[in-house]
Structures are given as structure tokens and as C-alpha cells.
Amino acid sequence: MKKALIVVDVQNDFCPGGSLAVAHGDEVVAPLNKLMKEFLDRGEPVYKTRDWHPPKARHFADYGGTWPVHCVQNTPGAEFHPNLLDDPRVTVISKGIDEGADGYSGFDGTQLAEQLREQGIDEVWVGGLATDYCVKHTVLDALREGFRVRALADAMRAVNINPDDGAQAIAEMRAAGAEIVGSESKEAGRGN
């Protein structure tokens, strides 16, 4: 069983103070840093995805979409959280780069599946932001691509536009075949 770690969208705009802040989003940094270090120490691949939108993406409410402007290419909001481990061995996957793309999933419009297969990866561990959007879609696509998936409940947080969105996302990931590890109360955003 060869595994890889996928750290989803731990970017300034999704953390407290950002334009699309996820409550307690920065709390994923510490557990993900620990895992990244462990994976890299064992020589296992680590990927970081990032939302990387053009300024006039249709994904944004101003241009017909859903969301406030966030993670615009080459802006501070699109940078990874300053405390997130930075290492030259980590592969960065940029998504949502087309004006018409939502880019919720790290597999959407990227080479991630091909890169994982080239490395002989069987299983991916996934955490990051946010549980109910980019993490969920990345997990579901990984399963569709034939990878085993461990969803890291302690290392993800939800937007929770509706209070149960995080919990429902977890249920959906589990129903699709992901193994949920860690405390589900955190990723579901309960107790905030």
C-alpha cells in the first residue's frame, strides 16, 4: 500500500481574516504540518492544492457565481497560510484557474490523478479546507479515480452555510467509500 497526502486549500482567504474565512480554518495547520513531516520523512509524496482563480471568475458572485472574491492568482489571499509547512518536496496543484471553472476538486482540470498513478499510489489521505466543498469534492473524485481514501476529520473544517453541511459532507464521503478517521465533531464544525 503506497500512500500520498493531499492538503486541500489551506490558504489565507479560507482562514480567519480572509475573504471567505472558514471558522477555525487555521486549526488544520498544526495536524497537517505534523502529517506532512511524517510523510516526507518516510519519502511519501505530499501534495498541496490551492484555489487559484482569475480576477473575473464566474465562480464569484460578482460574475454570476456563488462566492465572494477569493484566492485570486498572485494575491496575498491566495498564498498558503504562513504557518503551513513549506518544503521543496511538496507538489503544488493549482485549480480553478479558468474563468468558467469552480475548481472545487483537486482533480478537476489538473494532472493530480496521473501524477498519483505515475508514483504508484494506492491510497490518499485528505485534509484541509473546506470539508463541505473542496475537501469533499477532492475525496469523492479520488474515490472515482480508484484510490482508497482516508478523510482526516481532525484536519478539516467546514464552511457550514447550513449548520449541518460539514456533517452531511462527512456522511457523503463515507457513503462513497472513504474511511473517516479522527474526531467528526471538529470537521463538522460542531461546538463552534
Query: Cα–Cα distance between 172 and 102 in angstroms, integer?
Result: 20
Q: Which is nearer to Zn ion, 45 or 96 (CB)?
A: 96
Quick one: 33 or 94, whose CB is closer to Zn ion? 94
* Residue 125: strand, helix, or coil: strand
Given the residues 48, 51, 102, 134, select the one marked as catalytic: 134
Amino acid code (one letter) for 127? G
Instruction: State which residue, 60 or 125, has the beta carbon closest to Zn ion.
Output: 60
Closest chain position to Zn ion (CB): 51
The whole-angstrom separation of Cα 132 and Cα 159 is: 7
Cell of 152: 482526516
Catalytic annotation on 15?
A: no
Which amino acid makes up residue 45? Answer: P
Closest separation between CB of residue 161 and Zn ion, Å?
A: 14
Host H or E run for residue 170: helix 165-176
Q: Which is nearer to Zn ion, 96 or 127 (CB)?
A: 96
Residue 126 CB, nearest approach to Zn ion (Å): 17
Whether 34 is a known active-site residue: answer no
What is the binding site for Zn ion (CB under 5 A)?
51, 96
Nearer to Zn ion, 4 or 72 (CB): 72
To the nearest whole angstrom, how small is the minimum distance from the Cβ of residue 70 to Zn ion? 6
Q: Which three cell numbers stand for residue 16?
A: 480567519
CB of 73 to Zn ion, least distance (A): 11
Residue 35 CB, nearest approach to Zn ion (Å): 24
| Closest-CA residue to 30 (of 141, 146, 177, 156) | 156
CB of 188 within 8 A of CB of 154?
A: no
Q: How far is CA 171 from CA 113, 153, 158, 177, 187, in A?
A: 24, 12, 13, 10, 11
Q: Does residue 154 carry a catalytic annotation?
A: no
SS3 assignment, position 137: helix
Q: Would you name the residues annotated as active-site residues? A: 9, 95, 134
